[in-house]
């Protein structure tokens, strides 16, 4: 197991009138090589949870084990943890600051104290992973398009060679093509680099297609945890939380209500097509 | 991290004091400050204390929260008290070297401390019960007469409210960028001064860029809604005096009269 979260609580502004529970008794185990979708409405605590995983926020109560070792243990190196658990923030392009793309990607590995040639090798590798070739290296990050900037920012985290990659709403504010590119990139990282991925999102459509496990948060609590099929069965409860199942779930439910009994486990348009064709041919 | 900082320390509850017109509160605070500076005898201070306690009660803000504001003046208080204790000429109590404590010094230092504490508490009531935006609204209206002599009152107050509005946003932004860079291994704490200054670059560059972006966005949004300065601009919620404000003005005048009366009699 890569990460184990035990009874995690986080309270903002404790002992003031602004006190607010951000996380309530969250238990979660992330296995190596998993592709998890973390879903919740704005303010459900999903971003807060991810910031605990690499030690940016300290829990009010509870424990987090990384490879079996508590990250709150005295002498635990947060720097190592942050290189192993890469966190890509929402709108990561806002963190770019260097004069050119290449030096910005070098920032992470440089902070790890690596040798110059290793830093450059890693930066090149990371930029290649996100699909930016050498013609981009010397451009200013501010000359790039939104999607390209975001890929640079993701490369900046990848250059640290994390084992676990957490992405907070990586598709926010992108056009459909940019969105598909980024999600395709993430899926590729999972398959080819064998990275453990946690994808934070509030869009079920984005997530349903890629992830093997879904965790749903609501008001700081974990409410559902299972495969997308299992979770989407609770589509009525999801709606009550201000979330929605993928549109195809509604189509399937409507068809079933009219007596066309296609399987409830359909979560993508492609699966639905196959199921409907199967019924048609019968 | 940075989220824990509370600026403008408005205390969001509902009380008569909170609902009062900001102009009334500004006037009351001014009257109170003036009254403290004319006070010079025990009885006058007692009157000032009564006024203060009544105001705190009316604001419904917990006393614990108010006293917290005094922490910032502890050093100032200690310095001014010790200066007054030892440097006031008069009947000596004891003498160490060139330092001597006098009875007059003790009396003067005591009044001084009380005056400072009252001053801070009095003005904290204003900021605790008035949102920053309300406050600038009140200032704009009360200082409106300066516009006649060419002071751009509306522009200044608009700048003030925008600045106030952006403080929490920029704090949040700083917090976010700091965390994002820390996630990339940046270290803002260790190292000597030069290293620390260098470590600020990855924080400051994105912060400035985002501040400029927000500024242009805001300017665009204001122009899109035909903003063109203060002339002829109406308000959605114009400031209007209610009965409680009239009563408050009356109380303030009464208080000031009593204070001046006490000063003349004693």
What CATH number did the domain enclosing A123 receive? 3.40.50.300
pLDDT range class, residue A247, cuts 50, 70, 90: confident
pLDDT range class, residue B230, cuts 50, 70, 90: confident
Distance between A21 CA and the closest CA of chain B, angstroms: 14
B225 in a domain, yes or no?
A: no
A90 in a domain, yes or no?
A: yes
For testing contact with chain B, the best of A11, A90, A97, A155 (most B CBs within 10 A): A97
Please say if the pLDDT value at position B3 is more than 60.
no
Cβ within 8 Å, pair B6-A18? yes
B223 in a domain, yes or no?
A: no
Mean pLDDT of the residues in chain A = 88
Q: Which tokens hold the place of A198?
A: 């946690």
Please say if the pLDDT value at position B41 is more than 90.
no
Cβ within 8 Å, pair A94-B176? yes
B175 in a domain, yes or no?
A: no
Does residue B4 or residue A248 have the better pLDDT? A248
- pLDDT tens across B14-26, in order? 999 999 999 999 9
B60 in a domain, yes or no?
A: yes
B15 in a domain, yes or no?
A: yes
Q: Which tokens hold the place of B29?
A: 């605070």
Least confident of A183-187, B7-11, B41-45: B7-11
Over residues B44-59, mean pLDDT: 91
pLDDT range class, residue B7, cuts 50, 70, 90: very low
CB contacts of B184 in chain A (<8 Å) are 82, 95, 107-108, 111, 156-157, 160
A135 in a domain, yes or no?
A: yes
Cβ within 8 Å, pair B184-A97? no
Number of folded domains that form chain B: 1
User: b/e string for A230-263 if b means 16 or more Cβ within 10 A?
Assistant: ebbbbbeebeebebbbbebbeebeebeeeeeebe
Note whether B184 contacts A: Cβ–Cβ < 8 A: yes
A134 in a domain, yes or no?
A: yes
Over residues B132-149, mean pLDDT: 87
pLDDT range class, residue B244, cuts 50, 70, 90: very high
CB contacts of B179 in chain A (<8 Å) are 51, 56, 89
Please say if the pLDDT value at position B54 is more than 60.
yes
A232 in a domain, yes or no?
A: no
A281 in a domain, yes or no?
A: no
DSSP letter string, A7-73: EEEEEETTTSTT-EEEEEEEEEEE-TT-EEEEEE-TTSSHHHHHHHHTTSS--SEEEEEETTEETTS
A115 in a domain, yes or no?
A: yes
Distance between A282 CA and the closest CA of chain B, angstroms: 55
Note whether B169 contacts A: Cβ–Cβ < 8 A: no
Please say if the pLDDT value at position B4 is more than 70.
no
- pLDDT tens across B60-91, in order? 988 887 887 787 788 888 998 888 888 888 77
B26 in a domain, yes or no?
A: yes
Distances (CA, A) of B90 to B63, B82, B105, B106, B137: 37, 15, 8, 10, 49
Closest in A18, A94, A111 to B184, CB measured: A111
Over residues B100-105, mean pLDDT: 83
The H or E element spanning position A81 is helix A78-84
| Phi, psi torsion values for B34, nearest 5 degrees | -60, -45
Residue A1: the pLDDT is 60
Closest in A16, A79, A142 to B185, CB measured: A79
Q: Give the structural domain span for A155.
A: 3-225
A193 in a domain, yes or no?
A: yes
Q: Give the structural domain span for B26.
A: 9-130+240-266
C-alpha span between B121 and B68 (Å, rounded): 10
Number of folded domains that form chain A: 1
B70 in a domain, yes or no?
A: yes
For testing contact with chain A, the best of B8, B168, B181, B184 (most A CBs within 10 A): B184
A254 in a domain, yes or no?
A: no
């Amino acid at each position: 197991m890569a990460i184990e979260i035990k009874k995690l609580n986080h309270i903002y502004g404790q002992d003031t009138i602004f006190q607010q529970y951000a996380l309530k008794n969250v238990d979660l185990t992330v296995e190596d090589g998993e592709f998890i979708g973390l879903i919740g409405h704005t303010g459900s605590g999903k971003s807060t949870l991810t910031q605990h995983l690499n030690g940016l926020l300290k829990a009010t109560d509870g424990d987090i084990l990384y490879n079996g070792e508590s990250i709150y243990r005295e002498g635990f190196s947060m720097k190592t943890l942050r290189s192993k658990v890469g966190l890509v923030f929402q709108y990561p392009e806002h963190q770019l600051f260097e004069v050119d793309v290449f030096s910005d990607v070098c920032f992470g590995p440089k902070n790890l104290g690596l040798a110059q040639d290793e830093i450059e090798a890693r930066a090149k590798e990371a930029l290649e992973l996100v699909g930016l070739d050498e013609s981009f290296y010397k451009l200013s990050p501010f000359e790039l398009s939104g999607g390209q900037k975001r890929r640079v920012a993701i490369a900046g985290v990848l250059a640290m060679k994390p084992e676990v990659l957490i992405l907070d709403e990586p598709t926010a504010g992108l056009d459909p093509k940019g969105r598909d590119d980024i999600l395709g990139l993430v899926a590729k990282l999972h398959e080819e680099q064998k990275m453990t991925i946690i994808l934070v999102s509030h869009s079920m459509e984005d997530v349903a297609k890629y992830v093997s496990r879904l965790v749903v948060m609501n008001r700081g609590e974990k409410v559902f945890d299972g495969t997308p099929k299992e979770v989407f069965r609770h589509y009525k409860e999801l709606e009550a939380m201000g979330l929605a199942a993928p549109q195809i779930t509604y189509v399937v439910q409507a068809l079933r209500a009219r007596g066309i009994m296609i399987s409830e486990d359909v979560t993508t348009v492609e699966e639905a097509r196959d199921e409907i064709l199967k019924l048609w041919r019968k | 991290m940075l989220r824990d900082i509370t600026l403008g320390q408005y205390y969001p509850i509902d009380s008569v004091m909170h609902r009062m017109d900001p102009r009334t509160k500004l006037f009351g605070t001014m009257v109170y400050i003036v009254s403290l500076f004319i006070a010079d005898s025990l009885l006058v201070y007692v009157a000032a204390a009564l006024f203060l306690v009544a105001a705190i009660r009316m604001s419904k803000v917990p006393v614990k929260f108010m006293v917290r504001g005094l922490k910032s003046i502890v050093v100032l208080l200690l310095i001014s008290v010790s200066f007054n204790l030892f440097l006031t000429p008069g009947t000596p109590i004891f003498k160490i070297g060139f330092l001597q404590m006098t009875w007059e010094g003790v009396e003067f230092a005591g009044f001084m401390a009380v005056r400072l504490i009252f001053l801070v508490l009095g003005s904290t009531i204003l900021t605790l019960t008035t949102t920053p935006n309300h406050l600038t609204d009140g200032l704009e209206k009360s200082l409106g007469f300066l516009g006649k002599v060419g002071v751009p009152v509306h522009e200044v107050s608009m700048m003030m409210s925008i600045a106030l509005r952006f403080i929490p946003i920029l704090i949040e932004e700083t917090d976010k960028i700091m965390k994002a860079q820390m996630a990339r291994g940046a270290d803002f704490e260790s190292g000597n001064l030069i290293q620390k200054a260098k470590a600020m670059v990855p924080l400051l560059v994105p912060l400035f860029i985002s501040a400029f972006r927000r500024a242009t966005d805001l300017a665009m949004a204001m122009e899109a809604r035909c903003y063109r300065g203060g002339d002829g601009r109406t308000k959605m919620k114009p400031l209007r005096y209610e009965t409680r404000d009239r009563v408050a003005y009356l109380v303030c005048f009464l208080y000031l009269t009593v204070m001046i009366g006490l000063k003349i009699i004693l």
